[in-house]
Amino acid sequence: MMRCQRLGLFVSVLLLLFCHSASALTFSDATGRSLTFDSPPQRIVSLVPSFTEALFAMGAGDQVVGVTLHDTWPSEAATKAVMGGFLKPDRARILAQKPDMVIVSALQKGVITSLSGQVPFVQLEISSVKEAFKQILLLGRITGHEIASQKIVAENQKVLSDIAAKVAKIPMEKRKRVMRLMGRHELMTPGSDSFQQELIALAGGIAHKLPGKGEVIHVSDEDFISFAPDVLYGCGDDRKLADGIKNNPAFGEVPAVKHGRFDWYPCALTCRASVHTGYFVSWLAANLYSEAFSIVDDQVHPNAVFERKPIDLPLEYVEKAELDLGLLYDFPGKSVVVDFKHPQTILSTLDGWQEKISTIGNHYIPPQCWRLLHEGGFEGMKRDIFAMVGRNPVTSRFLYTGADMEHYAVKTVSFKEMSVTAVATAGVHSNAMRMGKDTGDFYEPGTINILILPNVKLSHRAMSRAIISATEGKTAALQDLDVRSSYTPKVNPATGTGTDNIILAEGQGVAIDNAGGHSKMGELVARAVYGAVKDAVFRQNGLIAERLVFRRLEERKISLADLVDESSCPCRGNDSSEMLTQLESLLLRPRYASFILSAMAISDAHVRGLVTDLSAFEGWCRSLAQEIAGKKVPEAWYLGDSEIPEPLALALNALMVGAQYER
């Protein structure tokens, strides 16, 4: 089944009766069991991604010792021990963490049975947004982060209230019919009682009223045509279903198909009701009603900064630096702003050479504003941004990005009296590309943005050369992290994103005329950028060099579930879930994970003609298959994806063959 069916049910309960004393908390979970904790648990294994997010958001991340493969947010989740997949987490790995609380969902019946009587577990489920908020509050009480959990809920409720106020101004006859796409081979959608239908309604959309309840129901062609959705949205592999819908002549007059209104969001937003519910509803609403939301007079709040956080930059010519948090068009507006004591000459890859500049910065344009940008134009939005932060547009130059500004990173590198400071934001999951291989088709605000500030004065010649040094430092960071091209991920590591930009200040002090690769200044520029970009990529996307092999496969757009589903392996059918569990179990073992990681490196070299003879590697694959099976196995080829480079395909096939004969 789909990812949402696997991951979307989890959250809902409880908060029935609390008996709380100074030393103990008693409550009932989703099963009605009465549980008591004498003190906040310090070793939590969370097997439900929605609750993992909540725990980290409320500041209980240090208490989390185990997560699932599907826990991708926040970045710190990548540093926790992995217990396995969502449906069949590994009992031995859970027990090895010696947890004093395990959070489970009803879908995890096997692990619940195996853990019963051995570790305290709390079963939480979700049926509505209201229940999700109740359980965030409950987790806050259990973990000792009650105030933080209340803040999370209050912030989400405030966003939902603002969206309700904005949507209320849209007449019912202009509301859009919206359907959530689900499935791969046949059209499915959440049932009328699903919280996903509630999310559509909260965003001002008209949800279907088709018969059938539950997280997933089948949709007939007749019902689809009758509902006639104006907008279809989904996530992940739902794109495959969308291709079939677009190519079906019977659906040609359905408004969403006719006008190409297929919208895509992260599965972690569409399939969960948790700490990002308000964020997703506001994004969905802004996409549905971008024209109405672009009317300034209908804003709920004025454009304004509500908090300014200082940033420490060790530079004599910097008057002040700060992170400005505000609202722009009723949505988050966040800027890193650097003010100079005296005007500077800067080199901006967005605006070119600029003189007499008093302020430089980097501004976060959130997804809610992306369609608004097209409604009002980029220049109009820039004027509003400068007005919001209170800076003169004539003497200010900013960069613009879809990476959250609160994930900025600062790196200063020094040598004797010289230093370079780089301030970077970086998101690499949407439009990373390999220059010279991928095609450039469009423009949007930058994704890796870097402000570079030397403590010396660079000549124009040195500034021009520093751009090359900075670019090479950025690319080296991406290469060392194995960031993949978003367009050709199976074969190409990325060299950058399609919308990267740099602002370089000339600086102040000793005159420097060279910032090339052989110069000390060039080295400092590259090292500062390298460090800032690596840190920013982790903060935004959670990528670290030693991340799980599962993440590395996902980044190559390789799904283990798809490999099993599309293979010629005898395991297909009723046994496919068992094969998937076997593969996940194998890849949790460092020996076999390293085998696949080695295959990835050999694949990249093979694609570039650096490795041509694979006979020795083929022998390695055969021996690993036999090792896994525990006996000699016949040669077999199960994989159906012909786009996977040969070395990686050989390695994945070896795991499948070994697992098949191991059973």
Question: How do strand 352-364 and strand 331-348 relate by DSSP bridges?
Answer: antiparallel
CATH number of the domain at 487, please: 3.60.70
Torsion angles phi and psi, residue 508, rounded to 5: -155, 140
Question: How do strand 496-497 and strand 318-328 relate by DSSP bridges?
Answer: unpaired
Within-domain flag for 372 = yes
Within-domain flag for 335 = yes
Query: Is residue 264 within a helix (H) or strand (E), and if so which, with residue range?
Result: strand 262-264
Question: Could you tell me if 118 and 229 lie in one domain?
Answer: no
Q: What is the pLDDT of residues 35-68, one digit of tens each?
A: 888 899 999 999 999 999 999 999 999 999 999 9
Question: Could you tell me if 527 and 577 lie in one domain?
Answer: no
Query: Taking the alpha carbons of 266, 240, 482, 363 in that order, is the dihedral positive or negative?
Result: negative
Mean pLDDT of 78-86: 89
pLDDT of residue 20: 41
Percent of the chain with pLDDT over 90: 70
> Can you name the residues that pair with 210 across neighbouring β-strands?
none
Q: Which domain holds residue 628?
A: 558-662
Specify whether the CB–CB gap between 181 and 189 falls below 8 A: yes
> Can you name the residues that pair with 337 across neighbouring β-strands?
322, 361
pLDDT of residue 446: 45
Q: Is residue 22 scored above 60 in pLDDT?
A: no
pLDDT of residue 16: 35
Q: What is the pLDDT of residues 131-186, one digit of tens each?
A: 999 999 999 999 999 999 999 999 999 999 999 999 999 999 999 999 999 987 78
Confidence of residue 574 (pLDDT cuts 50, 70, 90): low
pLDDT of residue 572: 57
Low-confidence winner among 13-22, 256-265, 377-386 (lowest mean pLDDT): 13-22
Question: Could you tell me if 264 and 327 lie in one domain?
Answer: no
Give the CA distances from residue 412 to residues 338, 407, 452, in Å, rounded to whole numbers and listed in that order. 15, 17, 10
Low-confidence winner among 84-93, 307-316, 602-611 (lowest mean pLDDT): 84-93
pLDDT of residue 6: 38
Question: Could you tell me if 359 and 427 lie in one domain?
Answer: yes
CA distance 468 to 349: 11
Question: Could you tell me if 114 and 11 lie in one domain?
Answer: yes
pLDDT of residue 79: 87
Within-domain flag for 157 = no
CATH number of the domain at 45, please: 3.40.50.1980
Which is more confident, 109 or 421? Answer: 421
Q: Which of 196, 197, 206 is nearest to 176 (CA)?
A: 206
pLDDT of residue 663: 64
Within-domain flag for 552 = no
pLDDT of residue 435: 54
Q: What is the pLDDT of residues 579-633, one digit of tens each?
A: 888 999 999 999 999 999 999 999 999 999 999 999 999 999 999 999 999 999 9
Mean pLDDT of 339-365: 97
CA distance 491 to 236: 20
Query: Is residue 598 within a helix (H) or strand (E), and if so which, with residue range?
Result: helix 590-607
Contacts of 307 (CB under 8 A, 6+ apart): 324, 325, 326
Q: Is residue 640 scored above 90 in pLDDT?
A: no
pLDDT of residue 433: 58
Within-domain flag for 247 = yes
Question: Could you tell me if 625 and 534 lie in one domain?
Answer: no
Question: Could you tell me if 13 and 120 lie in one domain?
Answer: yes
Return the residue matching tokens 């002549």.
249
Confidence of residue 641 (pLDDT cuts 50, 70, 90): confident
Instruction: Break the chain down into helix, strand, coil percent, rounded to 5.
Output: 40, 20, 40
CA distance 108 to 118: 16
Specify whether the CB–CB gap between 545 and 537 falls below 8 A: no
pLDDT of residue 236: 83
Question: Could you tell me if 84 and 126 lie in one domain?
Answer: yes
Q: Is residue 7 scored above 80 in pLDDT?
A: no
Q: Is residue 27 scored above 80 in pLDDT?
A: yes
Question: Could you tell me if 519 and 597 lie in one domain?
Answer: no
Question: Could you tell me if 451 and 318 lie in one domain?
Answer: yes
Q: What is the pLDDT of residues 501-557, one digit of tens each?
A: 999 999 999 999 999 999 999 999 999 999 999 999 999 988 999 999 999 999 999
Q: Is residue 9 scored above 50 in pLDDT?
A: no
Question: Could you tell me if 241 and 356 lie in one domain?
Answer: no
Specify whether the CB–CB gap between 504 and 467 falls below 8 A: yes
Mean residue pLDDT across the chain: 90
CA distance 130 to 195: 9
Confidence of residue 444 (pLDDT cuts 50, 70, 90): very low
CA distance 141 to 123: 16
CA distance 65 to 342: 50
Torsion angles phi and psi, residue 480, rounded to 5: -70, -20
Q: Where does 300-384 show beta strands of DSSP type E?
A: 304-310, 318-328, 331-348, 352-364
CA distance 125 to 635: 45
Within-domain flag for 165 = no
Q: How many domains does the chain have?
A: 4
Q: Answer with the one of 293, 315, 336 that is the final residue of a domain.
A: 293
